[in-house]
Amino acid sequence: MDFLMISNAGEGAHLLKMIENEGNDVKLYIKEPSYRDLWDGLLPKVKKIAPSKNTVVIFDFSGMGKLADDLRRSGHLVVGGSSFADKLEEDRDFGFEIMEKAGIKLPLTVAFDDFGDIEEFLDKNSESEDGRVRRFVFKPSGKNLPCHLTYVSKDREDLLEYVNYAEKNYGKDIESFILQEFVEGVVVSTEAWSDGTKFIKPINHTVEVKALMNGCLGPATGCAGNLVWVEEENCRIATSGILKVEEAIIGSGYIGPVDLNAVVNDEGVWALEFTPRFGYDATPTQAFMFREEIGKFFSDLSRGQLDRHMPICDKFAAAVRFSIPPYPLDPEKLEDVQKVCPNIGIPVRGLTEKNAGHFYFYEVTEDDGRLHHSPGIGLLGISVGVEDKVWKAFDSAYEALSELKVPELQYRTDLGCVLENMYEKADCQDGVSATLGMMPEVELEDKVEENKGG
Indicate the pLDDT class of residue 429, thresholds 50, 70 and 90: low
Indicate the pLDDT class of residue 320, thresholds 50, 70 and 90: very high
Residue 117: per-residue pLDDT? 93
Domains of the chain, residue spans: 2-85, 108-181, 183-454
pLDDT score of 452 more than 60: no
d(CA 106, CA 96): 8
Residue 126: per-residue pLDDT? 83
The answer to whether the beta carbons of residues 380 and 407 sit under 8 Å apart is no
Mean pLDDT of the chain: 90
Give the domain 2-85 fold: Rossmann fold (3.40.50)
Question: Lowest-confidence range among 347-361, 368-382, 432-446?
Answer: 432-446
Mean pLDDT, residues 405-430: 91
Question: Lowest-confidence range among 74-83, 212-221, 375-384, 438-447?
Answer: 438-447
The answer to whether the beta carbons of residues 285 and 205 sit under 8 Å apart is no
Q: How many CB atoms lie within 10 A of CB 162?
A: 16
DSSP string, 127-161: B-TTSPBP-EEEEEE-TT--GGG-EE-SSHHHHHH
Mean pLDDT, residues 177-183: 92
Residue 150: per-residue pLDDT? 87
d(CA 135, CA 124): 13
d(CA 185, CA 404): 35
The CATH architecture that domain 183-454 belongs to is 2-Layer Sandwich (3.30)
pLDDT score of 213 more than 70: yes
Residue 369: per-residue pLDDT? 85
Q: What are 275's strand-pairing partners?
A: 259
The answer to whether the beta carbons of residues 291 and 313 sit under 8 Å apart is yes
The answer to whether the beta carbons of residues 221 and 241 sit under 8 Å apart is no
Question: Lowest-confidence range among 56-70, 330-344, 364-378?
Answer: 330-344
Torsion angles phi and psi, residue 182, rounded to 5: -70, 130
Residue 208: per-residue pLDDT? 97
Q: Is 191 helix (H, G, I), strand (E, B) or coil?
A: strand
Question: Lowest-confidence range among 122-131, 351-360, 369-378, 445-454?
Answer: 445-454
Nearest one of 255, 243, 257, 326 to 287, comparing CA atoms: 257
SS (H, E, C) 216-262: HEEEEEEEEEEEEEEECCCCHHHHCCHHHHHHHHHHCCCEEEEEEEE
d(CA 53, CA 261): 35
d(CA 445, CA 398): 18
Alpha carbon distances (Å) from 27 to 12, 15, 340: 12, 12, 34
Indicate the pLDDT class of residue 185, thresholds 50, 70 and 90: very high
**pTM for this model (two decimals):** 0.90
Question: Lowest-confidence range among 71-85, 176-190, 320-334?
Answer: 320-334
Indicate the pLDDT class of residue 188, thresholds 50, 70 and 90: very high
Residue type, 187: V
d(CA 152, CA 450): 7
Nearest one of 230, 222, 224, 242 to 205, comparing CA atoms: 230
Mean pLDDT, residues 153-175: 92
Residue 428: per-residue pLDDT? 67
Q: Considering only the top CATH level, what class is 108-181?
A: alpha beta
Indicate the pLDDT class of residue 62, thresholds 50, 70 and 90: very high
Mean pLDDT, residues 442-451: 40
pLDDT score of 368 more than 60: yes
pLDDT score of 227 more than 50: yes
Rounded to the nearest 10°, the torsion over CA 167, 172, 174, 176 is 90
DSSP secondary structure code for residue 171 in this structure: T
Indicate the pLDDT class of residue 133, thresholds 50, 70 and 90: confident
The 10s digit of each residue's pLDDT in 6-55 is 999 999 999 999 999 999 999 999 999 989 999 999 999 999 999 999 99
